[in-house]
Amino acid sequence: MSLDAYLAGERDRIDRELDRLLPAIDGPSGTVARAMRYAVLGGGKRLRSILLLASFEACGGRGEAALGPACALELIHTYSLIHDDLPMMDDDDLRRGRPTVHRAYGEAPAILTGDALLTLAFEVLGRRPAGDAAAPRRSEAVTVAAAAAGLHGMIGGQIADVEAERKQVGVEMLRWIHLHKTAALFSAGCRIGAIHAGAPDERRDALATYGRDLGLAFQITDDLLDRTASRERLGKTPGKDERCGKATYPALFGSAASRGEAERLMRGARQTLTDAGILSGSLEALAGLVLQRVH
């Protein structure tokens, strides 16, 4: 199977499950239900979810036990985009080629829509799935996802990022922000895949390291694309980082050195898998995919 066919198949599987998990649009809370569907089902690469599923399978997991958790990661990612796009945060009007949620539905519904997606993610992570994963795996997955999404993960990265705008930021702080804002959730996804496959600790740790490095490389390529890609390709307003005086790898080191750093990280990620004896064509291909974005 080609990489494109694999990705399209997984995206389709994830999108169908997301559609099933999201609430119906009716009753007095219909506005938020509609906005949840608008935000989540409006496209997206589903990279975090696919990584979770690939990690699950790389550890011998079979069946649908990881599909709900994979979707939960996408719900968490989408909630963070909605809140980050708000006027008092990054103030973005465009996301995935369409108006951001607060532009389409208003600010109060946008805040509640983000809250509802985050909450739904944990409901899905805690819920006994059709195929049934053992309960200890479910509660452990909840804790891992919450730790990655919380103050010591994504939220910590976002507040540091917001406060760093127009300040002199060095490479150490930049790496701290990327580790927390982006890499933590990638890493958690890979670890949760391994947890739901019942993998031993060393495999979980190896996959978490792989996911972290892939997340760091992904953030660098994202910042490179922000400088070079068109509005159509990005689905959001390009060049925003530079206008906001945001510290990025390209801003600090230039494009060529940033590409080099992303490549270095991906070599390391692959080596981590090899060292742990994890053979997975999908994880190999996903590592390559991140670099392809800027080549």
Residues whose CB falls within 8 Å of the CB of residue 221, separated by 6 or more in sequence, listed in order = 262, 290, 291, 293, 294
Q: Is 41 in the site for its own copies (CB under 8 A)?
A: no
Among 61, 69, 114, 193, which residue interacts with its own copies (rule: CB under 8 A)? Answer: 114
Among 3, 38, 42, 89, which residue interacts with its own copies (rule: CB under 8 A)? Answer: 89
Question: Backbone phi, then psi, for 66, in 5-degree steps?
Answer: -95, -5
Q: Do 248 and 241 meet the contact criterion of CB atoms below 8 Å apart? A: yes
Touching its own copies, residues 242-271 (CB under 8 A): none
**Locus of tokens 């090899």:** 274
Q: Which residue lies nearer to its own copies by CB, 31 or 255?
A: 31
Among 122, 198, 251, 260, which residue interacts with its own copies (rule: CB under 8 A)? Answer: 122
CB of 157 to its own copies, least distance (A): 8
Question: Per-residue x/- marks for its own copies, 167-186, CB under 8 A?
Answer: ------x--xx--x------
Touching its own copies, residues 143-162 (CB under 8 A): 143, 145-147, 149-152, 155-160, 162
- How many chain residues bind its own copies (CB under 8 A)? 60
185: exposed, middle or buried (Cβ count in 10 Å: 0-12, 13-18, 19+): buried
State how far the alpha carbon of 87 is from the alpha carbons of 66, 82, 92, 94, in Å: 35, 10, 7, 12
Q: Do 86 and 109 meet the contact criterion of CB atoms below 8 Å apart? A: no
CB of 238 to its own copies, least distance (A): 23
Q: Is 88 in the site for its own copies (CB under 8 A)?
A: yes
Q: Which residue lies nearer to its own copies by CB, 79 or 249?
A: 79
Q: Do 190 and 211 meet the contact criterion of CB atoms below 8 Å apart? A: yes
Among 94, 111, 225, 251, which residue interacts with its own copies (rule: CB under 8 A)? Answer: 111
Helix extents (H) in the chain: 3-21, 30-40, 47-58, 67-84, 101-105, 107-126, 135-149, 154-164, 171-178, 184-196, 201-228, 231-234, 240-243, 249-253, 255-275, 281-292
CB of 161 to its own copies, least distance (A): 9
Residues that bind its own copies (CB under 8 A): 23, 27-29, 31-33, 36, 79, 83, 86, 88-89, 106-109, 111-112, 114-116, 118-120, 122-123, 125-128, 134-136, 138-143, 145-147, 149-152, 155-160, 162-164, 173, 176-177, 180
